[in-house]
């Protein structure tokens, strides 16, 4: 009796396990593993001469390349290209492409780097004198020391209450504590650095020596960052995506971690009709440029975390698409953070107010981890830590 089924495999370890299941020779398994993994790579703005050569090399390797109408006939100047094939075919085509003229060697280098980034296993985070190998998803617990945050405004404005809550989150499973003194809810105004520090410094003083987890501060102000990093904070979570060169310099000098987040506009304006040509491609382009900026300022790549900015200048449809296509962010080879907890798009889909969004948030958390998130930001840490562990256990059951 024959039984056929489709098998979906996305990592080398999953492929090797399937080979072991059917008792393949180890030598053969090593040769065949790259042939079992498939990839689609999109290249933007490729010259038509290079696109023509690229298509021929992919066809020669047994793969395929889709280009825009008129590209092969050279009736246009540029085209996006969608490469399709196994990893082995892509590697073979790239090697040959690197020996071709025009911009082909640079394109080959870009493909090689993207494939390498995408296939990276556990990444290491270096932040404020700490080095942590991220071999499972981490939970970042949120502490808003503000009177007006969208989900818990005013609840932890008192320093003693915030300190007690921070310690409670650690007991519930938080790997990172993220402390913010300025609300970034839609429509909010900026806060003077002095007032921001008055809110968060007492909280930091109450936990910095009493918890053994990474501590992050949500700020975009160099003055605030300098003060909290001097106190021993490990990570700066910048919702403006490292717009400030001065902030980048502060982070670099302290050898701290940095979360580079995408936001369209400012908290005051971000939800006024946000638009994108392709939401994931546009965000990736932004993050790639800001990561380069960070590196030029001396921030180590191992200290950079990227965040697509769920809810920051995005519609509900944008947010859902980002999470469903999150694997594309692995192309940068960096730790990816997702913060969907209690966000309004969950309320829109489920018709729930803030207090009723936990189940929807856990669904988004689980899907984010499945699609490559290394860190998930959450208000409800106990439930989120359990969901993260279960999702990771299921993902690793096939390895």
Tell the burial category of 192 from Cβ atoms under 10 Å away from its Cβ (0-12, 13-18, 19+): exposed
377 is catalytic: yes
Tell the burial category of 27 from Cβ atoms under 10 Å away from its Cβ (0-12, 13-18, 19+): exposed
Q: Which listed residue (377, 382, 389, 399) is catalytic?
A: 377
Reading the block at residue 280, the tokens are 């994931």
Asked if 378 and 358 count as a contact pair (C-beta separation under 8 A), the reply is: no
Angle at 286 between CA 284 and CA 290, to 5 degrees: 115
Angle at 279 between CA 273 and CA 284, to 5 degrees: 130
User: What is the distance between the alpha carbons of residues 214 and 241, in angstroms, rounded to a whole number?
Assistant: 20
Strands (E), 205-299: 214-218, 235-238, 257-261
Tell the burial category of 53 from Cβ atoms under 10 Å away from its Cβ (0-12, 13-18, 19+): buried
Q: What share of the chain is helix, strand, coil (3-state, %, to 5)?
A: 45, 20, 35
Q: Which listed residue (253, 343, 382, 399) is catalytic?
A: 343
Residue 215 has what DSSP assignment? E
For the chain, report the end-to-end CA distance as a whole number of angstroms: 28
Sheet bearing 38-47, strands edge to edge? 38-47, 78-86, 64-67
Radius of gyration of the chain (CA): 23
Residues belonging to the active site: 343, 377
């Amino acid at each position: 009796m024959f039984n056929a089924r489709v098998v979906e495999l996305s990592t080398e370890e999953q492929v090797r396990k399937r080979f072991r299941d059917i008792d393949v020779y180890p030598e053969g398994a090593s040769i065949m593993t790259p042939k079992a993994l498939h990839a689609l790579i999109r290249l933007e703005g490729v010259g038509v001469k290079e696109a023509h050569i690229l298509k021929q090399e992919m066809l020669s390797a047994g793969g395929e390349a889709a280009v825009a109408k008129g590209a092969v006939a050279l009736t246009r100047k540029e085209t996006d290209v969608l490469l399709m094939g196994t990893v082995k075919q892509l590697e073979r085509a790239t090697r040959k492409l690197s020996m071709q003229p025009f911009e082909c060697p640079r394109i080959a280098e870009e493909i090689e780097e993207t494939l390498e980034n995408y296939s990276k296993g556990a990444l290491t985070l270096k932040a404020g004198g700490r080095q942590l190998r991220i071999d499972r998803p981490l939970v970042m617990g949120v502490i808003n020391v503000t009177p007006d945050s969208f989900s818990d405004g005013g609840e932890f404005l008192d320093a003693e209450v915030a300190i007690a809550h921070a310690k409670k989150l650690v007991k519930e499973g938080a790997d990172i504590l993220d402390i913010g003194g300025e609300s970034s809810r839609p429509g909010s105004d900026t806060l003077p650095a002095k007032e921001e520090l008055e809110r968060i410094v007492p909280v930091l003083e109450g936990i910095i020596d009493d918890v053994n987890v990474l501590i992050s501060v949500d700020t975009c102000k160099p003055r605030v960052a300098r003060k909290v990093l001097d106190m021993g904070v490990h990570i700066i979570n910048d919702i403006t995506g490292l717009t400030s060169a001065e902030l980048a310099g502060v982070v670099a000098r302290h050898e701290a971690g940095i979360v580079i987040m995408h936001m369209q506009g400012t908290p005051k304006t971000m939800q006024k009709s946000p638009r994108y040509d392709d939401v994931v491609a546009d965000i990736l382009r932004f993050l790639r440029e800001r990561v380069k900026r960070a590196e030029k300022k001396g921030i180590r790549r191992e200290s950079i975390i990227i965040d697509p900015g769920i809810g920051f200048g995005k519609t509900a449809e944008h947010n859902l698409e980002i999470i469903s296509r999150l694997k594309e962010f692995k192309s940068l080879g960096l730790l990816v953070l997702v913060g969907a907890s209690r966000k309004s798009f969950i309320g829109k889909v489920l018709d729930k107010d803030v207090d009723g969004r936990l189940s929807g948030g856990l669904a988004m958390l689980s899907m984010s981890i499945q699609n490559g998130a290394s860190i998930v930001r959450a208000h409800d840490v106990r439930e989120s830590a359990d969901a993260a562990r279960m999702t990771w256990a299921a993902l690793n059951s096939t390895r």
